[in-house]
Structure 1
Amino acid sequence: MGSCFSSRIKAESPLHNGANPKYGSKYGNEMSGPSSRISSVSVPRTEGEILQSSNLKGFNFSELRTATRNFRPDSFLGEGGFGCVFKGWIDENSFTAAKPGTGMVIAVKRLNQEGFQGHQEWLAEINYLGQLYHPNLVKLVGYCLEDDHRLLVYEFMPKGSLENHLFRRNSYFQPLSWNLRMKVALGAAKGLAFLHSDEAKVIYRDFKTSNILLDSNYNAKLSDFGLAKDGPTGDKSHVSTRVMGTYGYAAPEYMATGHLTARSDVYSFGVVLLEMLTGKRAMDKNRPSREQNLVDWARPYLTSKRKIFRVMDARIEGQYTPDVALKAAYLALQCLSIEPKLRPNMDAVVKALEQLQDSGDKGGPRNASVHNSHRNSRNAPKYQSKNANDICNGNAILSPWPSASPPST
């Protein structure tokens, strides 16, 4: 059907530009089974061990060709960093190909057949998602390894990626409300917290809006584990790796040294939270030069009631109280601390976001008086910066896949 592959980060070509990220209209139904479960995620050394240890369905290429109607253009969902993604249908029980519109909806990623790096990331995806189970991780149903064909089969996520909802200005993708943004932020934070837990001990390394997928109820699930790494073991403080990721999201100390820790993911979370607050991309060369790097531009505004609304997304004005907006901004700022040790861990981030949701619900922000309070707050006294332990009621720290077309429903 012709080439539809974009270049993904190569081992020799570390970071790729966030202005041209990966495919975004990805998959999903609600996942059944335990809320979180894992069978040992210590990385097997061989391809055979990875495939045998995964709890996944092995598909034949002919099955997936039939399920996607021969990868027809009208089944095309979008383009990934190292492959194209197609919509398909399989029987819920036998997992055999089903007629369009019947059975279980799936998303089939067909990898570019060129390059060793793509194969390694394909294996990493199977290694992690074949063993990790959590409501906020996308479900990998199975894979195909046949001749030169390498495919991955996922649950279908009807609402696509967070990236599309934040940045695509068209009638299909409506701006996410404040409440939905906080719901998505909390779900994504829970996914990261699970990965960092003693149960999993995984560093995601590619946290960004295009890798956060939304199901029909806007529940967030992390996808694309091609760059994930096992966390440090024993008395080691970090994992040393070649620097890979996306410009604008990678933590500065990781870019400088190649030392990867869970706090590297926390920094990336701070970038994404800031994107959700502002409605602006982490990196955008179409903005004025001083505004192209979102973190650098927004940082001075994030601790001031008088200035915070200069950077908030105008499309959600009036949907939140000034205090809640400031707490969310300060949480992003804590995650973006230059010193990794000053960043909260993801469990603290989850707790802070839960408190934000509670305060937002109680505040009843959808009314004219709150809308007016936003405007009046421009003249309010400057917010006093607080210690990480003082945020959020003095307890918890408040501290690519661009879619070629809207996903089918």
Structure 2
Amino acid sequence: MTGEDRRRKLEEEHGMRFDYSFSSGFIPDLEKLSTRISFTALNNATESFDEHNLIGFGKKGKLYKAKLPYYDCLAAVKRFYNSRCLVKQCFSELMILGKFKHINIVPLLGFCIESTERLLVYKYMPNGNLYDWLHPMNNETKILDFHLRIKIAIGVARGLVWLHHNNFLIIHGNLCSSCILLDRNFEPKISNFGGAMFFSKSGSKELRLIQSDVYKYGVLLLELILGQDFYMPKETFKERISHPSTTIDTLYRAVDKSLIGRGNDAKIFSLLDIARGCVKPLPDERPTMLQVYKMLMDVKKINNGIEDYSETLTETDTTFTGFSDDNIELEIIEI
């Protein structure tokens, strides 16, 4: 599916027509999705985008920490580089994050479109991203114990279940540890929806796309347990994991040493087995994210030594703006 096809599908599903030039007549439609914030306010909140407020940068733009008036939380302001391609990604994120809300999806606070400026404003996540915790730089000491790792694994899975198994379908398409943000309690928030695809229902083609998210989740789960950076050529990774000589025992020998010998070995073996299922070469052999979530909950119960039903999918996990009945519980159906 081309970028233009994705744009048309998004526009049709949301009942809007947009021009990527973001003309003034287009702004009221966007204001239905999220709060419009002036560039002057964001400029002041970041102290003129001062470098000491810079908390991240990449191919899309720069991310700044900001304190906005009338908000009871810190914000993270993404200032996109001036590019037509990035304008489309900004639009996609705004459309999806503006309409759909979930505990494991990064909260969008607002947006700014003025002249050539394109900015999105998110709730600030004080513990940064998962990649930096798993691969600290410059001899930093960052430790994620097993409890936090399984909490993060479950939270990301819960978010993907909500995206995949709802009365709509969203394919993230770019899941990785650097786009998993962590709040003060290490609750994970999936971010980076610039390349996401939205569908009102799923067919055979969409189901294949879902399995791509499942595969990437499997890589993420292995990264969580092994502590290794798997962002290598796709075929190289597939060959290593699916090779007949690569057994669970082989993978266990590569487990992050900080997790070994702490009474969690049985749970680690179970997580490795789940991850291997997610990265099977044939997409049809991979589990759905709902199946993965249920397996992770079984592992969590073993970890606690008791039945633990605290991580259930409730109506608060499946709300989105514009839904008429706040009390209705959306049925999660396995595809």
Taking structure 1 as the reference length, the TM-score comes to 0.65
Q: Secondary structure at the match of 2:268?
A: helix
Write the deviation string for residues 214-259 of structure 1: whole angstroms up to 9, x where unpaired: 000000010010000023746x3115xxxxxxxxxxxxxxxxxxx9
The aligned runs of 1:123-162 (5 Å cut-off) are 123-162=91-130
Q: Secondary structure at the match of 1:152?
A: strand
User: Matches of 1:173 and 1:310 in 2, distance apart?
Assistant: 23
Q: Is the 8 A contact 1:76 1:84 kept in 2?
A: yes
Aligned to 2:84: 116
Q: Is the 8 A contact 1:204 1:229 kept in 2?
A: yes
Write the deviation string for residues 128-165 of structure 1: whole angstroms up to 9, x where unpaired: 00001000000011100000011010000000000000
Aligned to 2:18: 46
Q: How far off its partner does 1:199 sit?
A: 2.7
Aligned to 2:273: 330
User: Matches of 2:239 and 2:136 in 1, distance apart?
Assistant: 23
Aligned to 1:312: 255
Q: Which amino acid aligns with 1:212?
A: I
Distance 1:156 1:279, change over 3 A: same
Distance 1:53 1:201, change over 3 A: farther
User: Matches of 2:218 and 2:237 in 1, distance apart?
Assistant: 11
Distance 1:326 1:295, change over 3 A: farther
In structure 2, the gaps of 5 or more residues are: 4-11, 20-25, 307-335
Q: How far off its partner does 1:179 sit?
A: 1.4
RMSD, aligned CA: 2.7
Q: Is the 8 A contact 2:167 2:201 kept in 1?
A: no
Aligned to 2:76: 107
Greater helix fraction, Structure 1 or Structure 2? 2
Write the deviation string for residues 74-130 of structure 1: whole angstroms up to 9, x where unpaired: 1111103210011111133xx5xxxxxxx42000000101x2110000000000000
Within the candidate set 64, 77, 80, 1:86 is matched to: 64
Aligned to 1:19: none
In structure 1, the gaps of 5 or more residues are: 1-9, 12-39, 96-102, 240-258, 286-290, 364-409
Q: Is the 8 A contact 1:231 1:262 kept in 2?
A: no
Q: How far off its partner does 1:206 sit?
A: 0.8
Q: How far off its partner does 1:320 sit?
A: 4.3
User: Matches of 2:174 and 2:302 in 1, distance apart?
Assistant: 30
Q: Is the 8 A contact 2:159 2:190 kept in 1?
A: yes
Distance 1:66 1:53, change over 3 A: closer
Q: How far off its partner does 1:260 sit?
A: 5.1
Q: Which amino acid aligns with 2:74?
A: V
Q: Secondary structure at the match of 1:87?
A: strand
Distance 1:284 1:336, change over 3 A: closer
Within the candidate set 222, 226, 230, 2:190 is matched to: 222
User: Matches of 2:66 and 2:232 in 1, distance apart?
Assistant: 34
Q: Is 1:70 the equivalent of 2:48?
A: yes
Q: How far off its partner does 1:53 sit?
A: 6.5
User: Matches of 2:276 and 2:79 in 1, distance apart?
Assistant: 38
Q: Which amino acid aligns with 1:154?
A: Y
Aligned to 1:237: 204
Q: Is the 8 A contact 1:83 1:111 kept in 2?
A: yes
Q: Percent identity?
A: 28
